[in-house]
């Protein structure tokens, strides 16, 4: 065999061996690697979707500290208060989320997304009348706001057991938002509620 061919053959074998090394190493490493359990999943509210098994832990404390610092630097910026409320909401700390959302709304009134999230917190705390009051207020100035209409149906259904009211809210949602991506799901919910009344 010519020396050039021998060098090419040796070089090709070396490349193949080195190319396989990361695969073999990762298979051995992953087999021995401990499964990371996210401590955040144990503090999530009931019904909150769990993180994937190997998801890195969420650091709510670090995120809150950074947002609080930004909020102090820009006290007139409602977005930081909203984001703080969102973090507390994700943690299941609904009272603290309410406080942050209300601070945001004091800086920027009539923010339908923030008010809808605020209403959701009240609903999750069992204060359904307050949740409906806020949602109705949103729907006065934004009558076709999809999330408020959807959440109103949820509060009426699960908080008040008002099936007719929930159906009416969701039918209004479909009427005023014909291209809603969740249309099929909402139609199914409506049919289930109607069937339960027969």
Sign of CA dihedral 107, 109, 111, 117: positive
User: Of 95, 162, 169, 185, which is closest to residue 136 (Cα–Cα)?
Assistant: 169
Q: Is 195 exposed, middle or buried (0-12, 13-18, 19+ CB in 10 A)?
A: exposed
Reported as a single tens digit per residue, the pLDDT across 26-82 is 333 333 333 323 333 334 444 445 666 665 567 888 999 999 999 999 999 999 999
More confident residue, 29 or 154: 154
pTM to 2 decimal places: 0.71
> Among 14-23, 46-55, 85-94, 180-189, which stretch is predicted with the lowest mean pLDDT?
14-23
pLDDT band at 17 (very low <50, low <70, confident <90, very high): very low
3-state secondary structure of 109: coil
């Amino acid at each position: 065999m010519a020396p050039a061919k021998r060098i090419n053959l040796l070089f090709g074998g070396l490349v193949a061996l080195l190319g396989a090394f990361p695969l073999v190493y990762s298979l051995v490493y992953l087999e021995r690697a401990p499964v990371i359990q996210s401590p955040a999943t144990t503090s999530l509210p009931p019904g909150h979707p769990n993180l994937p098994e190997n998801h890195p832990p969420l650091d709510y404390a670090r995120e809150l500290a950074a947002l609080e610092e930004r909020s102090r630097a820009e006290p007139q910026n409602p977005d930081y208060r909203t984001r703080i409320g969102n973090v507390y909401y994700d943690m299941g700390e609904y009272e603290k989320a309410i406080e942050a959302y209300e601070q945001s709304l004091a800086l920027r009134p009539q923010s339908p997304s923030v008010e809808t999230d605020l209403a959701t917190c009240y609903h999750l705390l069992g204060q359904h009348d307050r949740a409906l009051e806020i949602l109705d207020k949103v729907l006065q100035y934004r009558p076709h706001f999809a999330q408020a209409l959807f959440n109103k149906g949820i509060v009426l259904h699960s908080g008040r057991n008002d099936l007719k009211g929930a159906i009416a809210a969701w039918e209004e949602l479909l009427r005023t938002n014909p291209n809603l991506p969740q249309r099929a799901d909402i139609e199914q919910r409506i049919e289930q509620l109607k069937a339960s009344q027969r």
